[in-house]
Amino acid sequence: MSLARYLKSFSRLRTYKDRKKWSALTSYQAPHKPFLLLSIMDLIAQGSITENFKELQYQDYQGEVI
């Protein structure tokens, strides 16, 4: 996928828009989805994610997987 296609896809992401909750710094939109996608893409590039399915694991405050 080309950089132009990534830019186009990321610019069209649906995000939660609320002028009362989000400031002008985020264009009044929740910034979480783009950051999540970029993080996942980075993990794929590093080789940490090698399959199409990633099971989520939650850790408690002591670092133990629940």
Every domain of the chain and the residues it spans: 1-66
Say if residue 65's pLDDT is above 60: no
The tens digit of pLDDT for each residue in 24-58 reads 887 777 777 888 888 888 988 999 888 887 677 77
**Six-digit token string for 22:** 């989000």
Query: What mean pLDDT comes out for the span 4-27?
Result: 80
